[in-house]
Structure 1
C-alpha cells in the first residue's frame, strides 16, 4: 500500500477498519468476488496466449489490476453507465459483456460487437483519454434529463497527461456532472513511469478543479468496491464528480507488442507480485475458513473450461469479407459509399480468371 491510500484488506490478507469506508463482508460475497477476479485473470491470460499463437493482432493485459476492475465493476447499479478504456476486461465481465466480443475486436473482425445500451457499457476506446470527455458529456445529459444513474469512466495514469482529461474534469466540475473518474494508476504509461508524468499524486488534481479526489489501494478489491460505491452514490444524489486513483500495478506488458524488461527491473516486479490482488483475497478466505482447497480447485476448473470454450468460439469465427469495409459507415446508407462499394467489387472481380476462380 502507498501512504494515504484507503485500504480495507492488507496484502497479508487481513481486514483493517476504516472510519469512512466499509465493506459488506460475507462469505458468499467474498467467494463471488474471488470467482470474478479469477475468471478475469484466466480470460486475460487466454487473450495473451491467443495473440502469441497468431489468433489476435494485439492484446492489452489487465494482469495485476483485477481488484481495481472487479471492485469498481461490482459497485455499479444496472442504471449506471460505463465508459471503458481498452484494458477494462474485468469491468466488461461485470457488465455481462460476452468476452468473445472482446477477443473478436482484437482479432480485427469486429468493431466491438456488443450493444452499448444493452449492457450500459460503451465500446472500448483506443484513443487515450478521449472517453473521459465522452463520459462527462453523457453525465451532463443525464443531469439535464433528470435521468437516474451515474457514469463511471475508466482510464489509466498515462491518460491524465492528455488535455482531454483536464477538459473533462473542468466541465464535470462546472456543470456538476454525475460522473466518477476511475483512474487505474498502474504506474507505467507504456515505458513512462509516474515520476515522468506528475509531481503530485494523481488524485490531488481533483482539488484544482473543485471536486473530491481519493486514492485507494488498487489491489484491494474490498476498498475499490467501497470507495466506488461511495463516489457513485455521491454522483446519483447530485453531489457532482469524484476522482478515484486506484493505485495498482501492471504486472504484464503494456500490450503484447511491448517488452517491459526494457524499462523496469525485476525487483520492482517482485515487490508487486507479493501484493497480488487474488492472493490477498484467497488468504482472507482461507484464514476465515470460508474457502478450502476444493473451492479453489473448482474455480480453477470452471475458469479453464470457460477459457477452452472461448478459444473454440474464437477460432470458429469467420473473417469478414473485404466488402465489409463499406458497412456501417452511415446509419442509413449513402450514395457515395454505394458507388465506392461497386467500384471496389468491380476491382475485386477483375482478378477473377475466365473460370471464375481467384
Structure 2
C-alpha cells in the first residue's frame, strides 16, 4: 500500500478558544480522558515555570547555555504522555521538558548545560538516550536501537525528537529511510517551531509540510497542531501503537512556536517581528487547555493554587541545585572515552595530573 500525504490541515482536537474541534480535523482520533488532560495541564504549567527559572539562572551565569522550549510545552509533554513505560526517548538539546516529564530531576538534567558532564544521568534508568547537540545524529541512533530491540524480541518503540532545522540534515533523511526500509518501530517527532535559529521554515523547504516527506520514503506522515496537547497525545499514542503492531514508523510534524530565543546567546528581534510572536501567543497551549478544563469545571481556583505552589517548589529546588558549588574532578574528562584508553589519551591525562599537582603545591607554598 502506497503511503499517503497528510490531510489538508494539522490534526486538532481542542481549538484556540478551548472548545472541542468537531470538524474533519479530529476524525480518527479520540480525545484523551479528563484525568489525562488535567494531568497534562498541571505538567505544562509546572514545566513553563521551570523553563523560565532555568533561563533566569542562565542569565545569572549559573549555566553556560540553555535552549528554552517556552511555548512548546504541548509537544514536549504530550509526546512523553503518548509513549509507554518500556519505550525509549532520543532527545535533542532542547527537549529538557520531555526529560522532566519522564521523572528526571533538575539535578540530573542541568549539569549538561554547565559543562559538568556530557551525559549527566543514567540513560537506562529513565529509558532516555543522551541529549544531542549535533543535529539529527540521535535519529539514526533511535532507528538502530529500535531495530535491535525488535530483533531481540523486545516490545520497544523508540521516539526521536527533531527540530524543523534538523530535518534538513542528511542524518534525518538517512534515519527515516532506514526506518521505512527496515519497518523499524520508530516515531519521528518533529517540533516545527518555525525557525532553525534564524532561518524560517519557508527558507528550508518548499514542501507544504515536513510530514509530506514521509510519502516519498514509503512511510506514514501526520501533522498535528503542536499547541494542542490533547491532539499530540492522541497522535503519538496512535503512532506508537502502530509501530508496536509492526505497522512501521511514523513521521509526526507538530506545528508550534518558540517564544524564547534559540539560546541565551541569540537575539530573535533581529529576524522575527513582534507581531508574529503576539499572533502565536493566541494559540498558547496552556491557556487553550485551561479554557477547556474550566468550561468543564475541572480546573478550579483551588486546583490552580496547588499547581502554582508545586511549580514554585520545583523552581526553588532548581535554584538550590544550581547554586550549589559542584565538586568536580578535571581528570574525569578522560574516563569513559575508550574501553581501552589510547596511549595519547593516557599521556594527556598524565600531563594534566602533573599540572594539577604542581598548582596544588604552589598554593600550599604561598
Equivalence for 1:250: 258
2:351 and 2:194 mapped to 1: Cα distance?
49
> 1:218·1:247 contact (CA, 8 Å) conserved in 2?
yes
2:278 and 2:141 mapped to 1: Cα distance?
37
Q: Which residue, 201, 214, 235 being the options, matches 1:206?
A: 214
Give the root-mean-square deviation of aligned CA atoms. 1.7
1:176 and 1:219 mapped to 2: Cα distance?
29
1:12 aligns with 2:20: no
Q: Deviations over 1:106-142 (max 9, x none)?
A: 0111222211111111110000111111111111112
Equivalence for 2:276: 268
2:201 and 2:280 mapped to 1: Cα distance?
15
Equivalence for 1:308: 316
Equivalence for 2:296: 288
Q: Any unmatched runs of 5+ in structure 1?
A: none
Equivalence for 1:133: 140
Deviates more, 1:295-304 or 1:343-352: 343-352
Equivalence for 1:47: 54
Equivalence for 2:4: none
SS in 2 for 1:134: helix
Equivalence for 2:161: 154
> 1:73·1:90 contact (CA, 8 Å) conserved in 2?
no
Q: CA deviation at 1:327?
A: 2.3
> 2:150·2:156 contact (CA, 8 Å) conserved in 1?
no
Equivalence for 2:189: 182
Change over 3 Å in CA distance of 1:35–1:348 after alignment to 2: same
1:338 and 1:284 mapped to 2: Cα distance?
60
Superposed counterparts of 1:60-79, under 5 Å: 60-79=67-86
Deviates more, 1:139-148 or 1:68-77: 139-148
Deviates more, 1:53-62 or 1:108-117: 108-117
SS in 1 for 2:364: coil
Change over 3 Å in CA distance of 1:354–1:121 after alignment to 2: closer
Equivalence for 1:109: 116
2:31 and 2:96 mapped to 1: Cα distance?
23
Q: Any unmatched runs of 5+ in structure 2?
A: 1-6
Q: Deviations over 1:279-306 (max 9, x none)?
A: 0011111111111122112211110111
Q: Which residue, 238, 241, 247 being the options, matches 1:233?
A: 241
> 1:109·1:319 contact (CA, 8 Å) conserved in 2?
no
SS in 2 for 1:215: strand
Q: CA deviation at 1:9?
A: 0.5
SS in 2 for 1:71: helix
Q: CA deviation at 1:14?
A: 0.6
> 1:178·1:240 contact (CA, 8 Å) conserved in 2?
yes
Q: CA deviation at 1:357?
A: 4.3
1:37 and 1:211 mapped to 2: Cα distance?
31
2:351 and 2:119 mapped to 1: Cα distance?
27
1:136 and 1:46 mapped to 2: Cα distance?
34
> 1:86·1:124 contact (CA, 8 Å) conserved in 2?
yes
2:160 and 2:317 mapped to 1: Cα distance?
30
Q: CA deviation at 1:321?
A: 2.9
Change over 3 Å in CA distance of 1:172–1:354 after alignment to 2: closer
Q: Deviations over 1:41-80 (max 9, x none)?
A: 1111111000000100000000010001111100111111
2:223 and 2:198 mapped to 1: Cα distance?
23
SS in 2 for 1:350: helix
Q: CA deviation at 1:354?
A: 6.0
Q: CA deviation at 1:145?
A: 1.7
Which of structure 1's runs of 4+ aligned residues deviate more than 6 A? none
1:168 aligns with 2:166: no
SS in 2 for 1:155: strand
